[in-house]
Each structure stands twice: as structure tokens, then as C-alpha cells.
Structure 1
Amino acid sequence: MHQGALYALLAAALFGASTPFSKMLVGHVSPVTLAGLLYLGSGVGLSIWYVVRRALRRNEQDGDGLRRKDLPWLAAVILSGGIGGPILLMLGLSSTPASSASLLLNMEGVLTAALAWFVFKENFDRRIVLGMLVIVLAGVLLSWQQVPEFGVPWGPLAILAACLCWAIDNNLTRRISASDAVQIAAIKGLAAAAVNLTLAFSLGAQWPAAASIGAAALIGFAGYGVSLVLFVLALRHLGSARTGAYFSAAPFIGAAISLLVLHDSVGGLFWLAAGLMAVGIWLHLTESHHHPHTHEETEHAHSHRHDLHHQHQHDFDWDGREPHSHSHRHLPISHSHAHYPDIHHRHQH
């Protein structure tokens, strides 16, 4: 399995599992407070990870940290994915069964791909489009089964709005995905936690019970923190649209846990939608992209091995350890091989 696909699927599993467990806390914690606690667990946990890792690597070259030019992108990521997305998801979960909510989250991959293709001009082909259309149809079926007899299905609409926020987040994060994934996720978690908790308390929220705080922090660390680190690594290797497609496996994890743990009741539309989503994901997993292409000269920093795309000298005393991170220059090269729109293959077609 491609390394980027593995990162994306692991991220999907952790995030998918967080949805039903978050649902269990909705009745005990207000939606905005819960969103803040989830990101607090993510931010604090990853900050500890980052500090410990730097202490262990204090004698190593460290060249993939965030730079000044990355900060505007990071701010936009925090606003869309760290504040808007979680609040809308918690509001949607308050009136939507967790199993259906989990599958509706597949729309994040669809919206991520749409933005990647039509706004950020990422490459796509007919197989990828067909897979996304199948996933869209599944999402429509799930929303249809949530339509009340009178009125608007606000729960599913809030979840779809959260998916749009995260789709914007994913495409913007791709711009800084070569930087330190743990640092990105830690800053996003702390900033989003501060904003969400401030908003919650300004609206009159109170601190929940200690057990609820601890549970939310653990869910946030795994489902929002570690998951985001893996997602950023996947963006680095796959690009936005394909990472979003692999990440579409997340709702199946969440739906399975909802059925087993929360005993949600589902009908025929649920299983039909699940089958369609499985087909859509399969179409993406079996996609291949291969053509002659040219790499322009560029300079950047990220963790790498000395593979086909990294044949360079070092201006520091290198001990031969791989992977390692430092600023390096890529000279122009033309060749042909199977590839994804990763940080080295963002070329025109």
C-alpha cells in the first residue's frame, strides 16, 4: 500500500471513531464547549509530543518547521477547520443519529475534491469523478432519510456545512503540508480550543464534570490530534482530492461503532448508502496516474529519504540517518512513473 494511503486510512479510522464517542458526550456538554475540549485535548497532547520530540532530537538537523510565509495559511486553516467545522458538527450531532452523521461526513471528501479540482486546479480523471458522484448520491440518500415531515433537516445541513469548512481547511493545509505535521496540528488545536472555549463561556456555558472533560480530551487527542498529523502527512504524499477520497473511509468506522455501541436503528436507505459509498471509495483506491512529466527547480524543507526525487548534497555534517529533514534544492528533471499530486508533483497536465 502507498505510504500516503496508509496515513490517510489511519487518520480516517481515528477520526471516524471520534464521532460516535463525541455523540455520547453531547447530552452532557454543550456543542461549543465540546468542540473546544476536543481541540484542547488535541492541542495539549500534541504540544507535549512536539516538546518531547525536540528534546530527543536536539542534536539533529531540524528544517521542516513552520515559516513566516506559512502563518496566513495556518490562520485560515484554524478559522475554517478548527472553529467553524467542529461547532457545526456538534450542532448537527445534537439532532442526527450518530450512524447517519458518520456517513454524512463522507461529503467532506467530495467537497475537498471539488475545491481541489476547480479552485486549486489539482489533476483528476473520469474514474475519480465517478467515485465522487457515487459518494454524493449516497450522501443525498442519507440526507433524505433525515428529512422531517415538516420543516428543514437542520441536523444534516449543519453536518454538511461542517464538511465544507473542513474541505476548505484540507485544501489550505495542503499549502503547508511540507512543514512539521505535529507542529501544525498542535498550534491548530490550541488556537481552536482557545476560541471555542471563550465563545462557549461567553454564551453562559459552565465547565462540565471532570469525567466529561477527560473523556473529551482523550477523544480529541486521538480523533482530532493524531488523526490530523496523519492527515497532513497524507496530504504531503497524495494531494487534497485523493487524501479526501481515502479519508472517506472514516464514516464507515464511525457508523460501525454507532451500531455496536449506541445501538442506533437504521433502515434500508442507510445500507444502500453505505454500499454506494463503499463503491465510491473502491474506485478511488484502485486509481492510477502515470505520464511523462517535468519537475521545475524548487527549494523547500521536509522529512525525506534520498530517493529518485532527492539526489542532493548536504552543507552540514550528515550521519547518514534517514529519513531526515533540512532545506534542499531540486534541480529540473523530466521522467515518467506512477505518481500522485504530492509536494513534488504539482504540475500542469
Structure 2
Amino acid sequence: MRPAHIALAALVAAVWGVNFVVIEIGLDHFPPLLFSALRFLVAALPAVFFVGRPKVAWKWIVGVGLALGVAKFGLLFTGMSLGAPAGLSSLVLQVQAVFTALFAFLALGERPGRIKLLGMGVALAGIGVAAVDEGASGASLTGFALIIAAALCWGVSNVLTRKAAPPDALNFMVWVSIVPVLPLLALSLLLEGPDRDLVALRQLDWTGAGVIVYVAWITTVFGFGAWGWLLRPHPASSVAPFSLLVPVFGMSSAALFLGESVSPLRWCAAALLVGGVALASVTPGRRRGAQIAGAAGAPERTVRVPLTAHTAPSVPKERA
């Protein structure tokens, strides 16, 4: 990768890591489900009028919209509102790579190798250490459990995204963002109450508006757009590892801006989880013959790489 592309990948990871701090601030202004609904509403409008028609079947857009938008983000925002710290949430959410590998095996028949299984075990050990640290600190185990449930739902959406194989990541993400808006609003009215929602909207200030803009346009539109752009000239195996920087930026920004302490036990959990996800993301390299064929201009087979944190699907190269 060129230095400019490496810098862009690192910038996207930083944007996604700081996003957890921004979510924490936003939860002081909005109920979690309403906040999530507003995030997707602003991400979809007006972008949906500029990205063109959907390039995949509606069943995949609706499926990913429900799994990612309603379930994953609804659980994530609710878990953080119940006390799950921003830095820890950015870390624990990365266990989605383990769930992705598990669901890919069950639904797609992608059998994990020994290294991937080892990585999954190490990552789960990291989750266990994080749970012990969370319990010892007296924080909300319910919120912690909801973050894990959010990671599970993210794994489901990753497999659905792989099945959809969208050729344009930004187009796909914008159309997916339309789906969760009404279900999340309905759930907010039902569970959080119209009075609470109206108070939040009436008290909207510049900070609340800025939070919505960040999570919608910076994190979603710019983040996924840049990530998808990077996946066009580079293989997913080169881009995906940068997502491991997300919890690094998440935990450091939470400590810097929110004053969250990072205990030695949490650093241990971070090392286990990030290391495990890295191992679980390992994909065997191409055979030398395939490399020679590609260099000679012969058609290449697309290499499937597990989707890791915030990773868009790999884009197959065009046949020569």
C-alpha cells in the first residue's frame, strides 16, 4: 500500500475508534434507540439521492439493515447507555470476528483452520478477562452482555453482507441505512416513550447536532466510503488488519476525553482480544501458480477474507 493509502486506512480506524467517545457524549442528549434512529436517518438523507439505485437485491439490504442497524447498533447504544464504558465497548465489540467465523462456517461452509480456531479461543479468553475486570470495577454487566450481543448481531450482518457481495460499499451502506430508521423509531416510542423522545428533540443543541453529524456522516458515509475505496486497489487481507487499530484509538480517546481508567487487567484483555482477532483474520495466501497467472493477465479467483471490525466486503477483481 502507498503511504497515503496507509494514512487513510489509519485515519478511518481513528475515526471509528473516537466514534465510541462521541456515542458516549450523544447518549447524554438522546435515548439510545432514538439516537440510533437519528444516526441512520441522517446517514441516509440526502446521500440516498446521490449514490444511485441499489446494486444488490432488496432482501440483502433489508436483512443487513435489520441485523446491523436495528439489532447491532440498538444493542450497542443501549449497552453503553446502561454503563458499558466507551473504551471497553470499542474493544469487546471486536469479538464479532469470532462470531463472523462461526456463522460463516454454519451458513457458508467455510471451515476454520487451526490458526483461526486458536485465534477464536484467544479472543474469547480476552472477553473472559474483560468480564472479570468489568465485574471487579462494579460496572454494568448487563451493558457488557449487550455489547457482546451486539457483536453477535454484527457477525450475522457480516455473513449476510458476504452473501450479498455488493460491488459498491458506499452505495450498499447508504441504502442499508434507510432500513433501520422506522423500526428503531417504533422501538424508541414503545420502550423509551414519546415524552422522553420529544424532550430530547426539543432540547437539541449544537453539541447534540454535532454528535449526530459525526456518527452519521463522518463515521458512516466517510468511513465506509473510504474503506470501500481502499478495497478497490488493495486486497482485503491488506486493508482489514487496520481495523485492529479501532480499539486502540477507542480506549486511548476514552481515557483522554472521558477520563476512563485502563486497568492492567483491561490491557491484558485488550492484548488477548486484539491478538486473537488478528489470528482469526488470517487467511492462507494464494498459491504461487495463481500469483503467476494473475501476473500474466489470466483471470484470478477472488480470495474471500473474513470481515473484521468495520470491514466492507472485498470487491472481486475484473477478469482481464
**When the two structures are superposed, what TM-score results if normalisation uses the length of structure 2?**
0.76
| Cα distance between partner residues in 1 of 2:98 and 2:9 | 15
Q: Which residue of 2 aligns with 1:38?
A: 39
- SS state at 2:164 partner: coil
Deviation at 1:286, TM superposition (A): 6.9
Deviation at 1:35, TM superposition (A): 0.8
- 2:152 matched to 1:146? no
| Cα distance between partner residues in 2 of 1:117 and 1:244 | 20
Q: Which residue of 1 aligns with 2:152?
A: 164
Worse-superposed segment, 139-148 or 118-127 = 118-127
Q: Which residue of 1 aligns with 2:110?
A: 122
Q: How do residues 191-210 of structure 1 correspond to structure 2 at under 5 angstroms?
A: 191-202=179-190, 203-204=193-194, 205-206=197-198, 207=201, 208-210=203-205
Deviation at 1:47, TM superposition (A): 3.0
Letter of the structure 2 residue corresponding to residue 92 of structure 1: G
Deviation track 1:41-76 (CA, whole Å, cap 9, x = no partner) reads 32226336x35xx7xxxxxxxxxx535x61111110
Letter of the structure 2 residue corresponding to residue 102 of structure 1: S
How has the CA–CA distance of structure 1 residues 293 and 233 changed in structure 2, closer, same or farther, with 3 Å as cutoff? Answer: farther
Contact residue 72 and residue 150 of structure 2 kept, 8 A: yes
Q: Which residue of 1 aligns with 2:70?
A: 83
Gaps of at least 5 residues in structure 1 are 55-64, 295-306, 312-332
- SS state at 2:179 partner: helix
Q: Which residue of 1 aligns with 2:273?
A: 277
How many residues in Structure 1 have an aligned counterpart in Structure 2?
295
Letter of the structure 2 residue corresponding to residue 24 of structure 1: I
How has the CA–CA distance of structure 1 residues 285 and 343 changed in structure 2, closer, same or farther, with 3 Å as cutoff? Answer: same
| Cα distance between partner residues in 2 of 1:178 and 1:103 | 27
Deviation at 1:151, TM superposition (A): 11
Contact residue 95 and residue 273 of structure 2 kept, 8 A: no
Contact residue 17 and residue 247 of structure 2 kept, 8 A: yes
Contact residue 12 and residue 249 of structure 1 kept, 8 A: yes
Contact residue 113 and residue 244 of structure 1 kept, 8 A: no
Letter of the structure 2 residue corresponding to residue 136 of structure 1: L
How has the CA–CA distance of structure 1 residues 163 and 31 changed in structure 2, closer, same or farther, with 3 Å as cutoff? Answer: same
| Cα distance between partner residues in 1 of 2:94 and 2:41 | 25
More helix per residue: 1 or 2? 2
Please identify the structure whose Cα radius of gyration is greater: 1
Q: Which residue of 1 aligns with 2:309?
A: none
Contact residue 109 and residue 248 of structure 1 kept, 8 A: no
- 2:122 matched to 1:134? yes
Q: Percent of counterpart pairs with the same letter? A: 22
Q: How do residues 262-273 of structure 1 correspond to structure 2 at under 5 angstroms?
A: 262-273=258-269
**When the two structures are superposed, what TM-score results if normalisation uses the length of structure 1?**
0.70
Contact residue 66 and residue 180 of structure 1 kept, 8 A: no
- SS state at 2:45 partner: helix
Q: Which residue of 1 aligns with 2:308?
A: none
- SS state at 2:217 partner: helix
Gaps of at least 5 residues in structure 2 are 306-313
Contact residue 109 and residue 244 of structure 1 kept, 8 A: no
Letter of the structure 1 residue corresponding to residue 77 of structure 2: M
Q: Which residue of 2 aligns with 1:291?
A: 287
Q: Which residue of 1 aligns with 2:171?
A: 183
- SS state at 1:290 partner: coil
- SS state at 2:158 partner: helix
Letter of the structure 2 residue corresponding to residue 209 of structure 1: L
- SS state at 1:107 partner: helix
Q: Which residue of 2 aligns with 1:23?
A: 24
Which of 189, 212, 217 does residue 213 from structure 2 map onto?
217
Letter of the structure 2 residue corresponding to residue 36 of structure 1: A
- SS state at 2:287 partner: strand
Deviation at 1:158, TM superposition (A): 0.5
How has the CA–CA distance of structure 1 residues 100 and 226 changed in structure 2, closer, same or farther, with 3 Å as cutoff? Answer: same
Deviation at 1:191, TM superposition (A): 2.6
- SS state at 2:79 partner: helix
How has the CA–CA distance of structure 1 residues 150 and 16 changed in structure 2, closer, same or farther, with 3 Å as cutoff? Answer: closer
Deviation track 1:310-343 (CA, whole Å, cap 9, x = no partner) reads 97xxxxxxxxxxxxxxxxxxxxx7879x954455
How has the CA–CA distance of structure 1 residues 286 and 110 changed in structure 2, closer, same or farther, with 3 Å as cutoff? Answer: closer
Contact residue 39 and residue 217 of structure 1 kept, 8 A: no
| Cα distance between partner residues in 1 of 2:296 and 2:62 | 31
Deviation track 1:88-133 (CA, whole Å, cap 9, x = no partner) reads 1111112112121111111122211221233222364322332332
RMSD: 3.8
Letter of the structure 2 residue corresponding to residue 225 of structure 1: V
